[in-house]
Structure 1
Amino acid sequence: MTATADPTTGSLAEVTDVVVETLGIQDRAGNLDASTPLFGAMPELDSLAVLELVSALEDRFDIVVGDEEFGGEIFETLGSLAAFVDGKRG
């Protein structure tokens, strides 16, 4: 079963907050939604920023992301990232 991000639960909003804070993109926060592309489309999200973002998500949501879980599909969109976090919280 695949987890989906449900904006009504606040998960998408919380993940968005972490992304905005970690990447320093407060000026664009109002334009972000579940379909916003991340890695490869957002210049601030380079390989180092991915590590910082994962660390921030682990801290915020009290989850652990294993090295084997890193994949491009997780960072495809803000919604896919929120769905991943939802699955980890589970």
Structure 2
Amino acid sequence: MTTVPNIDSAAEEAALDRELKALIADVLGLDPEQAAAFGPDSGLFGHLPELDSMAVAGLLTEMEDRLGIIIDDDDVDGEMLETYGGLLAFARAKLGRA
């Protein structure tokens, strides 16, 4: 039996990916093309000088605003901020798409 991917899910995933990359570019003042090139293993915290501890708060606040999620202090750890893939997985889980 062959399964057909859910087109809505693929479109939602692509939209989340685009929105998260745009959000990162906006908050950190990155070139949108740089953010658009992020892949799952692209380093964030500790790799991007723009993403310091002060910028993390802004990034999380903007994620709450744009994605309509609530991020509790207990949700935040180094793993979710280490790579773009980790941050995307975190956003996906918060949106109930994990």
**TM-score normalized by structure 2?**
0.78
- Residue aligning to 2:59: 53
1:80 aligned residue: 86
Question: How far did 1:31 drift?
Answer: 3.1
Gaps of 5+ in 2: 1-8
Structure 1 counterpart of 2:88, which letter? A
1:20-62 per-position Cα deviation (integer Å, ceiling 9, x unaligned): 1110001623432222100001100000000000000000100
Distance 1:82 1:7 in 2: 14
Q: Percent identity?
A: 35
Name structure 1 gaps, 5 residues minimum.
1-5
The answer (yes or no) to whether the contact 1:12–1:34 under 8 Å persists in 2 is no
Aligned residues: 85
More helix by share: 2
Higher RCO structure (Cα 8 Å, ≥6 apart):
1
Which has the larger Rg?
Answer: 2
